[in-house]
Amino acid sequence: MSTRAPAVVARDLIKTYPGDVTALGGMDLAIGAGTVFGLLGPNGAGKSTTVKILTTLTRPDSGTATVAGHDVLRHPGRVRRAIGVVAQKSGADPVATGRENLLLQGRLYGMRGAAVRRRADELLDRFDLADAGNRRTEGYSGGMRRRLDVALGLVHRPEVLFLDEPTTGLDPEARTAMWDEIARLAGDEGLTIILTTHYLEEADRLAERIAIVDRGRIVVEGTPDELKGELRGDAVHMELGAEGDAGMIGAALGGLRGVHEVLVEGRRVSVRAEDGAAAVPVLLAALERAGAAVAAATVARPSLDDVYLRYAGRRFAEAEAAVARQVPALTAAGGNR
């Protein structure tokens, strides 16, 4: 962790949309300079609203925030000059070439002449777009467009780079290539990178520190290894043949030696066990006595999904499904949060 002043500080950010939709319910952040910081949460958790406030694209109802030492409300122009932003949707002009897009971006930041041309060529080379630099971007593949988007965010050499869901919609090969580029970028440039994602593996792989966001608040923060290390033993996940009585199942499993953190969600039962493999037959027998037949059982080492389950009280997939059911209300209230 850098000893320099934090690159991003946010205090008690609150944002609501019409219809009494709460996007942020008191967001607090302190992101060290030179780190890759991941905001991990399902769609609708408040990640994109946080980024919009920090990048001066929207104002909070209350709270304060500074980016690169500049107040987002009092000095938005200074913030914009200090940051690069890669939004969820591409900002490139589809009828312009990759090089033309980069030149235009540089000129918008006051770069001129040979300096902006050198920077454009440098970024085309870096992101493996040199051969496509004189082609219209409407003909680029999804992976090429995302690489160009990142290059556009870097033209003016920002202090802080925001990557908002940078690999959404990419195929697995293109996603992996983007992960590799982000990792190189962090190592070579020494940038502060704020990464928002709903991919657990992406956050685990790229972020030095992670804040898990749920319902507009940060529920826990730390390094991926710290967060996973707080979970004792193994995760045992079981699928019941039919939905059982949650109270009865909890009572049947909660008293078993070496078993803790029992969670029952419909037909799904999750526990933590000191030795998962050894605990499975004991768990199956206890559930059978409680009248609940198990259709499948898996044992795994702690993951960020288990961390989310512990601190948010629900599985990541369940949180995403809950947001999906609210899509009409969110769309009417202001779109993706």
Q: CA distances (Å), 252 to each of 110, 235, 277, 289, in order?
A: 68, 17, 19, 8
Stronger pLDDT, 125 or 229, i.e. the higher one: 125
CATH code: domain 232-301 is 3.30.70.100
Three-state secondary structure along the chain?
CCCCCCCEEEEEEEEEECCCEEEEEEEEEEECCCCEEEEECCCCCCHHHHHHHHCCCCCCCEEEEEECCEECCCCHHHHHHHEEEECCCCCCCCCCEHHHHHHHHHHHCCCCHHHHHHHHHHHHHHCCCHHHCCCEHHHCCHHHHHHHHHHHHHCCCCCEEEEECCCCCCCHHHHHHHHHHHHHHHHHHCCEEEEEECCHHHHHHHCCEEEEEECCEEEEEECHHHHHHCCCCEEEEEEECCCCCHHHHHHHHHCCCCEEEEEEECCEEEEEECCHHHHHHHHHHHHHHCCCCEEEEEEECCCHHHHHHHHHCCCHHHHHHHHHHCHHHHHHHCCCC
pLDDT beyond 60 at 331: no
pLDDT score recorded for residue 2: 43
Q: CA distances (Å), 113 to each of 103, 106, 127, in order?
A: 10, 10, 22
Cβ neighbour number for residue 255 with a 10 Å cutoff: 10
Give the architecture (CATH level 2) of 8-227.
3-Layer(aba) Sandwich (3.40)
pLDDT score recorded for residue 1: 42
Look at the alpha carbons of 203, 204, 209, 214 in this order and tell me if their dihedral is positive or negative.
Answer: positive
pLDDT per position as a tens digit, 104-119: 999 999 999 999 999 9
Residue range 2-17: mean pLDDT, rounded: 86
pLDDT per position as a tens digit, 19-73: 888 899 999 999 999 999 999 988 888 998 999 999 999 999 999 999 999 999 9
Q: What is the chain's mean pLDDT, rounded?
A: 89
- Tell me the residue type at 180: D
Stronger pLDDT, 158 or 254, i.e. the higher one: 158
Single pTM value for the model: 0.80
Q: Strand, coil or helix: what is 279?
A: helix
Residue range 95-102: mean pLDDT, rounded: 97
Beta bridge partners of 197: 40
pLDDT beyond 80 at 322: no
Domain boundaries, the chain: 8-227, 232-301
pLDDT beyond 50 at 157: yes
Residue range 86-99: mean pLDDT, rounded: 93
pLDDT score recorded for residue 304: 87
Q: pLDDT band for 198, please (50, 70, 90 cuts).
A: confident
Percentage with pLDDT > 70 across the chain: 94
Task: Please check whether residue 323 is in contact with residue 315, taking contact to mean a CB–CB distance below 8 angstroms.
Answer: no
Residue range 231-241: mean pLDDT, rounded: 88
pLDDT score recorded for residue 280: 95
pLDDT beyond 60 at 336: no
pLDDT beyond 80 at 263: yes
> Using alpha carbons only, what angle is made at residue 34 by residues 33 and 36, rounded to the nearest 5 degrees?
105
pLDDT beyond 70 at 120: yes
pLDDT score recorded for residue 55: 96
pLDDT beyond 90 at 135: yes
pLDDT per position as a tens digit, 165-195: 889 888 888 888 888 888 888 777 778 999 9
d(CA 160, CA 243): 48
3-state helix, strand, coil in the chain (%, to 5): 40, 25, 30
Q: pLDDT band for 324, please (50, 70, 90 cuts).
A: low
What tokens were used for 317?
Answer: 């997939």
pLDDT score recorded for residue 4: 64
Residue range 301-306: mean pLDDT, rounded: 84
pLDDT score recorded for residue 329: 52
